[in-house]
């Protein structure tokens, strides 16, 4: 780890900005004491390697990830989710190097599943779960982004070549609303037990709003809802429509899941129905000038699905009740074609931090250690760079 020095926390913040080690927003100064406390909360060796992050191929050690978590404003309760998210995006099939380097606006969406939703700082799953006002959501997603920048080496216009980016590249994290959902918990679709905790991560665009008003007396209500979601998914200008790979995330509000559950549909039924309905005609693809639709000899009315594998439609409940479901298209490229990845959140490994004793300080010194009091010198753990 490289240590930087500054006369004050204000000077340290300006130094981090000048070195390009922030996401553009103010960060918590990662002093050695704060990083040590965060690393301790993982219950793991600080030198343990969680994976390699491209495009710089930096080694994501526990200590470096803890540095990103401190800078993002995480509490020790959040770090098990951050560690799991780092493990997930470091899986080779996630193609992190290519994802960080593409001109597409993709960003990793973190879905927190299982008991960790409540045990790791209360990750929000209801109203505004993808928006401001939720500390755990904001801090966890931001910690992953800072790790991707400072360990993975992503720099706008240099190694992160997204033409526009999107706000989810600051932070993109929410929890599944399992208690109110009519479907089996999302992580069980990936082989986990219901009482396990896991993150499901998919590279995604920003949410695309899908409006629908249900009618309990309309026997076609479920079909109409599926049709409107499929229409948004099939947007002929999206990568999914042209490349026909990747994944699509569908975050349904409670009113909309009720419509489909009332019709007797399971998550697997919904995935199959959406895959069958989310199509474009060959004529439409030709009209928009797709260079990727190669079967030019097919009939104009041939239906071309946007996804070949229904299991790559990630369907779960979150958000408040009302009119809107959210659809997130994806990038669809890379050697592994932008798949869904996941990793277990290890709650048994994490430990409670006896923060004052662990750092060898008394309670009277705690305020200074946490940056509440005045200090002439702030040492900054700069090893995440």
User: Are 280 and 354 in the same domain?
Assistant: no
Both 160 and 240 in one domain: the answer is: no
Which residue, of 329, 359, 377, is where some domain finishes?
A: 329
> What is the distance, to the nearest Å, from the Cα of residue 223 to the centroid of all Cα atoms in its chain?
30
The mean pLDDT of 340-356, rounded to a whole number, is 80
Residue 190 inside a domain? The answer is no
Mean pLDDT of 217-232: 96
Q: 């998550």: which residue's tokens?
A: 267
Count Cβ atoms below 10 Å from residue 156 Cβ, excluding itself.
Answer: 13
- Least Cα distance to 78 among 353, 286, 284, 289 occurs for 353
**Domain co-membership, 7 together with 48:** yes
In the three-class reduction of DSSP (H, G, I as helix; E, B as strand; rest coil), residue 56 is classed as: coil
Residue 352 sits in the same domain as residue 247: no
Q: Are residues 150 and 227 in the same domain?
A: no
Do residues 310 and 350 share a domain?
Answer: no
Based on the fold, state whether residues 48 and 165 are members of the same structural domain.
yes
Q: Do 148 and 6 sit in the same domain of this protein?
A: yes
> Could you tell me if 96 and 128 lie in one domain?
yes
pLDDT tens sequence across 15-33: 999 999 999 999 999 999 9
pTM: 0.92
pLDDT tens for 193-215 read: 999 999 999 999 999 999 999 88
CA 369 to CA 66: how far, in whole Å?
16
What average pLDDT does the segment 314-342 reach?
97
Query: Which pLDDT score, from 0 to 100, does residue 123 have?
Result: 98
């Amino acid at each position: 780890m490289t240590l930087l020095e500054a006369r004050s926390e204000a000077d340290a913040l300006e130094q981090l900005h000048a070195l390009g080690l922030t996401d553009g927003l103010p960060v918590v100064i990662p002093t050695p004491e704060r990083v040590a406390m965060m690393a301790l909360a993982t219950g793991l060796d600080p030198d343990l390697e969680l994976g390699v992050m491209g495009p710089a191929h930096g080694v994501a050690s526990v200590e470096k990830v803890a540095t990103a978590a401190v800078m993002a404003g995480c509490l020790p309760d959040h770090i098990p989710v951050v560690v799991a998210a780092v493990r997930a995006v470091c899986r080779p099939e996630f193609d992190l190097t290519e994802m960080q380097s593409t001109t597409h606006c993709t960003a990793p969406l973190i879905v927190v599943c299982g008991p960790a939703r409540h045990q790791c700082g209360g990750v929000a799953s209801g109203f505004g779960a993808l928006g401001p006002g939720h500390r755990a959501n904001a801090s966890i997603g931001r910690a992953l982004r800072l790790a991707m920048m400072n360990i993975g080496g992503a720099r706008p216009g240099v190694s992160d070549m997204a033409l526009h980016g999107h706000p989810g590249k600051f932070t993109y994290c929410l929890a599944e609303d399992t208690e109110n959902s009519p479907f089996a918990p999302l992580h069980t679709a990936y082989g986990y037990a219901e009482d396990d905790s896991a993150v499901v991560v998919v590279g995604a665009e920003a949410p695309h709003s899908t409006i629908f008003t249900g009618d309990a007396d309309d026997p076609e209500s479920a079909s109409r809802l599926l049709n409107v979601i499929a229409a948004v998914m099939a947007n002929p200008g999206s990568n999914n429509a042209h490349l026909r790979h990747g994944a699509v995330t569908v975050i349904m509000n409670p009113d909309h899941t009720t419509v489909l559950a009332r019709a007797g549909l399971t998550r697997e039924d919904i995935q199959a129905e959406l895959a069958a309905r989310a199509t474009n005609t060959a004529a439409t693809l030709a009209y928009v000038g797709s260079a990727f639709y190669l079967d030019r000899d097919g009939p104009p009315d041939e239906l071309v699905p946007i996804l070949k594998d229904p299991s790559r439609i990630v369907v779960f409940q979150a958000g408040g009740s009302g009119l809107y479901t959210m659809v997130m298209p994806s990038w669809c490229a890379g050697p592994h074609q932008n798949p869904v990845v996941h990793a277990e959140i290890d709650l048994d490994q994490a430990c409670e931090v006896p923060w004052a004793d662990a750092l060898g300080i008394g309670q009277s010194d705690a305020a200074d250690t946490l940056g509440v009091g005045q200090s002439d010198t702030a040492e900054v753990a700069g090893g995440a760079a």
